Each structure stands twice: as structure tokens, then as C-alpha cells.
């Protein structure tokens, strides 16, 4: 028992739903013509290969002629009159040369025409034959009295709604689009006018300059560079042109892909790896298999291997460029900077390729990762911009390389730098521990300063600040105040608690006391600084107290930290007191 097939339905399905654009019938006719020429060449015949499309405007008819192998009567019965039958599939070797392989391509003609008339004479035997096929699945074959030359001519008369697809400019556009790089010469004829369609070399056979011009003419944009693409396994040759403008990572990619020199798709988005968003590819393959709609490739193992190989071509070109033409390389990075950074976070390959050339803000100024790591193999990274600002000046004086991880993506990018630059030691900085890196005082000196530090701790405890003392540069900086978001949160919570209503107070209280251990900011005195030394050496506790309060409030101001109401009051009081003391002394001196 066999399934009953509704032929009309199958034809409707294939012809109207398989293809995205009615214009693909030109592609299918071209492909059959070129395949027939390939088949005849295989027979060892010598002939001048040629494909001719002719328009008869008054009858809205198109003829499509090739001087390929033609069809015998049994060939017609077997391949043309049977959907899904093809001369190009059974023999695996053969399918390597032919573009078609499904045996459904000719049906696309039924989208634009109610009848296919095919006149053919086989290169193998003599009869000239006419085949007439209808979309209801019926057909007739008859022998022609007058012989035609070897090859095949297909006649199509436009359905009224598709007449525009049979006009000269439209046919020419479609022939050029699909057949521009086919080897067999293609001609378009209308009445006395004849035009050769395909004379230019494909861009993958051009030298670099010519390929640049080709892309510029086709896209109205001069590419930044041309990258040759090759895959032996996928029989791929092509070029990737680097886009001269920034593109969003979300944009659909539009790679132009040819199968055996005939355009398969000009919107293929996955033939290059996703990280290669900054290029558009134009490439030809002999080995990848198309889907039946002929608008994409079958995504099999070979497809993904080829994609990786093409990715390697792009990578090695860029690596070479970074050495041989660093200016151009920098321009490419500059144009695509934001997307390269965003993509490098996700994609290891892109990361490894670009990380050395990405710029970061550091305690030594803005520089690229190559320069950063050539200066220092030990790198500190701050998670926030605020933390970076607190220490960048001191870090430089201490000869510490600190990178600001506060800008978008920078933290993630820098954090994994050791994965590609093994000599680099990266530490995410705990800002509260930063001053512990400075040189400690000797034992005796430490004993001398202890009472002063204890006084400082007592005074600043209520501002959640602990004191320590170290030697550090620059000497003109008396104290370094370091805080983080957690400390700031607790300070804020404490202030809110004083002012808020009972319920909120309870909540804040629970968070503060039960969930966390109370964190402290750090005020690090600089033993290198003369004023600090003097304050420590003073015997007057009152003066020491005012100095501590002023060191503290001044360090908040210098670091752009917000001053709470109590801190403002403290600053105010200690300043007035300081003035008072100064005035007393001055007046005393006058006396
Ligand atoms: N111009 C031609 N010359 C010789 N044989 C042809 C020609 N056009 C079609 N044929 C024969 O008709 C068969 C069916 O053609 P059709 O275009 O439907 O499918 P195909 O080219 O084999 O595969 P695909 O569906 O991938 O295009 C071909 O395999 C070939 O044998």
C-alpha cells in the first residue's frame, strides 16, 4: 500500500511555502542550466558553455536556455516528472559538483507561472522533446518534428500578478544577484538588446585593493580591512570585510554566501562565529550542504567545523595586524570598542584576542593591558570607581598598579586577565585592607604613637572609623581615609535610626546588629607627614583631639565623601576651637 498524495497540495506547499521570495525561480533555472553544463562537460564533450535568458515583453514570457546535457525521454519521465527525483543525488561524486540535489527546484517556477514548457535535446541521443507540466501534477511529452540544438530551454509565461518578475530590469537584477560569479557566461536578451551578466571576478579571487573597492561599491562604505577566509574541509574561500562603523551586538548578521559560485543567501547570520560581529563575510563553498529552501546550510558537524576554521582565519589575521599594522588594529578597536568589550566578557576567544589592546584607567593613567602588564605583573583591581578614587594617587606614589574596575565591563574583563597572561598576579582589592600594604612603623615608634592612636580610636569610634599609622607616600598627605559601601550603609543606617519612626528603626536595627558584623572605615596616619608627627609629639591632649577631628573631617572632604550632620558639626566645632586656640596663643604672645 502507498500513501495517496495530493499532488496539487504538494506543489502548492513546495512552491509557495518553501521559498521566501518569488524571484528564486531565476535562481533555480540558473542552477539547473549550470548543472546541466557541468554534466555535459563530464561526458567529455567540447562545447562553448552558455546560458541565455530572453524576455518577450509583449507576451510576458521568459525563456531560459542552456547548452548542457539535456534530457532523454526516460530522463524526463524519471527526473522531471517525479517530484523529489534528481540526477544529482544518487551518485555521491556527482552531487559534489552539482548545485541542485533535491529534485524540487523546478517547482519554484509554478509560483510565477501556470505552466512550465521545457524543450530539450539530450547530448546522448537525438530526439528533440517538449515537456509541458502543470501545477495540478499533469504533464505531456511530445517529440518535436524540428530538431533543436543540444541543451534545454524552459519557457515560462508570467501569472498576471507576477509580470514584474519578467521585466528586463527585474530579471537582470535577479540574474546578477544569483549568477554574478558563476563560471558559465550568462546573457540576457530582450529584442535586439543583449547584455552579458557575469564578467567580474568574485571578491575572494581579487587582490586586496580590488576587494576593498568591490565592497565599497556594494555597500557604499569603505571597509576598514579585508580578511581572507579559507576552509579546506568546507571548500570555502571568501573574504570578511571589517565594518567601518559600530554595530550593535543584537543586529542580525548579513553574510553573503555562495554555493558553488551561486548566491545562496545574502542574509546568512551564522556562518561566522558570533564573536565576529564586526565583520561581514562574502564567501563561497563547495562542500557545505544547503537546506531544501536553499537559503541556509544544514547545521551538521561540518558546518560548525567550518565556522570555527573561518573564525581562526579572522583571529590570525587580527593577531598579524596587531603586529604589522598596529595603527589600523587600534582603529578597528576604537570603532567597535563598546561591543568588543561587551562581547569579550562572554567570549573567551575574543577576550584572548583583544584584552592586551583594551584600555583601562589605572593609578598611572589610562593605558592598555599590554602596557599595564609590562609595567607591573602584580595588579590590584578596585570593584568601584569610588574606591579607585580614594587610593589612586597614593597607589601611584607607592608604585602600586591599581586598575579602576568601576566602568561597565571593566571589572569582569580585568578579573580574568591571569587566564590569558599567566605571569600576571591579580588581586581584587579590599579597600579597607589597602593601608595595611604600607610600611609599618618600627616597634619603638609604634609604642610611641600608641596613645595617640588610642585617642583617635576613641574619638572616631562613633563615626565607624578605626585608626592606624604607616609610612607612605606622598609625604604631604597627612591621612588616608578608606571606606566601602558596607561601611557607608551602616553609617547611613545609624543616622536613619536616629531620625526614623519606630518600625523602620527596628528593621534597620535588626539588619545592623544581627546580620552583619559591624564594619569600620580606616583612617591611616602618614608617619612621613610633618604635621602628623607634630600632632603625635604634642603633649597637649586638647590639641591632639582637635587635630584628629580635623584630620578626619578634612580627609572626608578631600575624598569627596559625604559628611553626615554629626560630622559637619564635628568639623565646625573643631575648626572654631582651632581658631580659638590659635587666637589665644596669638593674644598670649602679644601680651
Ligand atoms: N536545464 C536542465 N537540463 C537538464 N536536466 C534538467 C534541467 N533542469 C532540470 N533537469 C533535470 O530535472 C531534475 C529535477 O530538477 P529540479 O530543479 O526540480 O531539481 P534539482 O536541480 O535536481 O534539485 P534542487 O531541488 O536542489 O534544485 C534535475 O535533477 C535534472 O535531472
The more confidently predicted of residues 75 and 414 is 414
Question: Residues 25, 62: one domain?
Answer: yes
Mean pLDDT of 122-128: 89
Give kind and range of the element (H or E) at residue 227: strand 226-231
104 C-beta closer than 6 A to ligand 1: yes
For the chain, give the percent of residues with pLDDT over 70: 90
Nearest-CA residue for ligand 1 atom 20 is 103
Give the CATH number of the domain where residue 575 resides.
1.20.120.790
- Residue 529: which domain range? 436-484+519-590
Confirm whether 185 is domain-assigned.
yes
pLDDT at residue number 94: 41
Question: Residues 512, 527: one domain?
Answer: no
Nearest-CA residue for ligand 1 atom 31 is 87
CA distances from 249 to 246, 253, 328, 380, 516 (A): 9, 9, 22, 30, 41
Question: Residues 93, 152: one domain?
Answer: yes
Question: Residues 115, 260: one domain?
Answer: no
Question: Residues 264, 174: one domain?
Answer: no
pLDDT at residue number 218: 92
15 C-beta closer than 6 A to ligand 1: no
Task: Give per-residue pLDDT as tens, 501-534.
Answer: 666 666 666 665 665 577 899 999 999 999 999 9
Question: Residues 65, 88: one domain?
Answer: yes
49 C-beta closer than 6 A to ligand 1: no
Give kind and range of the element (H or E) at residue 76: none
- Ligand 1 atom at minimum distance from 33 CA: 1
pTM for the complete prediction? 0.76
Nearest-CA residue for ligand 1 atom 4 is 70
The more confidently predicted of residues 442 and 111 is 442
Task: Give the mean pLDDT of the chain.
Answer: 89
User: What region does 60 belong to: left with phi over 0, alpha with psi -120 to 50, or beta?
Assistant: left
Pick the closest to residue 84 from 104, 109, 107 (CA basis).
Answer: 104
Give the CATH number of the domain where residue 236 resides.
3.30.230.80
pLDDT at 148 over 50: yes
- Start-to-end CA span in the chain (Å): 128
86 C-beta closer than 6 A to ligand 1: yes
CA distances from 11 to 110, 133, 136, 161, 166 (A): 8, 12, 8, 19, 22
Q: Number of folded domains in the chain?
A: 4
CA of 84 to the centre of ligand 1 (A): 10
Question: Residues 261, 225: one domain?
Answer: yes
- Angle (deg, nearest 10), helices 530-537 and 541-558: 150
C-beta separation of 107 from 89 below 8 A: no
260 C-beta closer than 6 A to ligand 1: no
Task: Give per-residue pLDDT as tens, 209-248.
Answer: 999 999 999 999 999 999 999 999 889 999 999 999 999 8
Question: Residues 157, 28: one domain?
Answer: yes
User: Where among 294, 328, 362 does a domain terminate?
Assistant: 328
- Three-point CA angle 103, 109, 110, nearest 5°: 100
The more confidently predicted of residues 539 and 241 is 241
User: Where among 272, 299, 328 does a domain terminate?
Assistant: 328
Question: Residues 21, 169: one domain?
Answer: yes
pLDDT at 93 over 50: no
Q: Which of 10, 25, 29, 32 to mutate to test the pocket of ligand 1 (most atoms within 8 A of CB)?
A: 32
For the chain, give the percent of residues with pLDDT over 90: 69
pLDDT at residue number 513: 63
Residue 481 CB contacts under 8 Å (≥ 6 apart), including other chains: 390, 465, 521, 522, 523, 524, 552, 555, 556, 558, 559, 561
pLDDT at residue number 333: 93
Provide the grid cell at 172: 537582470
How many C-alpha atoms does 244 have within 13 Å on its Cβ side?
11
Mean pLDDT of 133-139: 84
Question: Residues 449, 584: one domain?
Answer: yes
Question: Residues 57, 186: one domain?
Answer: yes
Confirm whether 178 is domain-assigned.
yes
pLDDT at residue number 449: 96
The more confidently predicted of residues 535 and 539 is 535
215 C-beta closer than 6 A to ligand 1: no
72 C-beta closer than 6 A to ligand 1: no
Beta strands (DSSP E) in 324-410 are: 359-362, 365-368, 378-382, 401-404
Question: Residues 188, 226: one domain?
Answer: no
Amino acid at each position: 500500500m502507498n500513501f495517496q498524495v495530493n499532488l496539487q497540495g504538494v506543489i502548492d506547499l513546495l512552491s509557495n511555502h518553501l521559498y521566501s521570495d518569488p524571484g528564486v525561480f531565476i535562481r533555480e533555472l540558473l542552477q539547473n542550466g549550470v548543472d546541466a553544463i557541468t554534466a555535459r562537460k563530464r561526458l567529455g564533450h567540447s562545447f562553448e558553455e552558455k546560458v541565455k535568458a530572453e524576455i518577450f515583453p509583449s507576451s510576458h514570457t521568459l525563456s531560459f536556455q542552456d547548452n548542457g546535457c539535456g534530457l532523454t525521454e526516460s530522463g524526463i519521465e524519471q527526473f522531471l516528472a517525479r517530484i523529489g527525483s534528481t540526477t544529482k543525488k544518487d551518485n555521491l561524486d556527482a552531487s559534489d559538483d552539482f548545485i541542485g540535489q533535491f529534485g524540487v527546484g523546478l517547482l519554484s517556477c509554478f509560483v510565477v507561472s501556470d505552466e512550465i514548457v521545457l524543450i530539450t535535446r539530450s547530448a546522448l541521443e537525438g530526439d528533440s522533446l517538449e515537456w509541458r507540466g502543470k501545477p495540478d501534477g499533469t504533464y505531456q511529452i511530445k517529440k518535436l518534428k524540428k530538431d533543436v540544438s543540444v541543451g534545454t530551454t524552459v519557457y515560462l509565461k508570467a501569472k498576471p500578478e507576477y509580470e514584474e518578475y519578467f521585466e528586463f530590469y527585474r530579471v537582470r537584477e535577479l540574474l546578477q544577484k544569483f549568477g554574478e560569479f558563476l563560471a558559465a557566461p550568462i546573457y540576457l536578451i530582450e529584442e535586439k538588446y543583449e547584455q552579458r551578466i557575469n564578467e567580474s571576478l568574485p571578491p575572494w579571487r581579487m587582490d586586496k585593493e580590488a576587494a576593498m573597492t568591490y565592497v565599497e561599491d556594494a555597500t557604499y562604505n569603505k571597509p576598514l580591512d579585508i580578511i581572507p577566509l579559507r576552509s579546506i574541509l568546507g571548500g570555502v574561500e571568501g573574504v570578511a570585510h571589517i565594518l567601518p562603523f559600530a554595530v550593535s551586538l543584537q543586529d542580525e548578521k548579513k553574510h553573503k554566501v555562495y554555493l558553488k559560485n551561486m548566491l545562496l543567501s545574502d542574509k546568512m547570520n551564522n556562518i561566522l562565529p558570533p564573536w565576529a560581529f564586526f565583520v561581514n563575510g562574502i564567501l563561497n563553498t563547495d562542500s557545505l550542504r544547503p537546506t531544501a529552501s536553499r537559503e541556509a546550510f544544514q547545521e551538521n558537524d561540518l558546518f560548525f567545523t567550518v565556522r570555527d576554521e573561518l573564525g581562526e582565519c579572522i583571529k590570525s589575521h587580527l593577531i598579524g595586524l596587531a603586529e604589522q599594522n598596529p595603527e589600523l588594529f587600534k582603529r578597528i578597536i576604537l570603532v567597535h570598542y563598546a561591543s568588543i568589550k561587551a562581547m569579550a566578557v562572554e567570549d573567551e576567544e575574543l577576550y584572548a584576542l583583544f584584552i592586551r589592546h583594551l584600555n583601562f584607567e589605572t593609578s598611572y593613567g589610562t593605558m592598555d593591558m599590554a602596557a599595564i602588564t609590562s609595567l607591573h605583573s602584580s595588579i590590584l583591581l578596585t570593584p568601584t570607581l569610588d574606591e579607585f578614587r580614594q587610593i589612586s594617587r597614593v597607589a601611584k606614589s607607592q608604585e602600586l598598579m591599581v586598575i579602576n574596575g568601576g566602568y561597565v565591563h571593566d571589572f569582569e574583563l580585568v578579573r580574568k586577565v591571569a587566564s590569558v597572561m599567566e605571569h600576571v598576579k591579580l588581586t581584587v582589592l579590599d579597600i579597607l585592607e589597602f593601608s595595611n600594604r604600607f610600611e609599618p612603623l618600627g616597634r619603638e615608634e609604634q609604642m610611641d604613637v600608641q596613645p595617640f592612636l588610642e585617642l583617635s580610636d576613641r574619638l572616631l569610634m562613633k563615626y565607624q572609623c578605626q585608626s592606624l599609622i604607616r609610612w607612605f607616600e606622598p609625604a604631604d598627605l597627612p591621612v588616608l581615609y578608606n571606606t566601602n559601601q558596607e561601611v557607608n550603609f551602616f553609617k547611613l543606617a545609624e543616622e536613619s535610626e536616629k531620625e526614623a519612626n519606630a518600625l523602620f528603626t527596628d528593621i534597620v536595627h535588626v539588619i545592623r546588629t544581627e546580620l552583619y558584623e559591624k564594619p569600620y572605615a580606616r583612617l591611616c596616619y602618614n608617619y612621613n607627614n610633618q604635621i602628623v608627627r607634630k600632632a603625635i609629639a604634642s603633649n597637649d591632649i586638647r590639641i591632639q583631639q582637635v587635630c584628629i577631628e580635623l584630620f578626619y573631617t578634612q580627609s572626608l572632604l578631600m575624598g569627596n565623601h559625604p559628611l553626615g550632620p554629626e560630622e559637619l558639626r564635628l568639623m565646625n566645632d573643631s575648626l572654631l576651637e582651632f581658631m580659638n586656640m590659635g587666637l589665644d596663643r596669638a593674644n598670649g604672645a602679644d601680651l
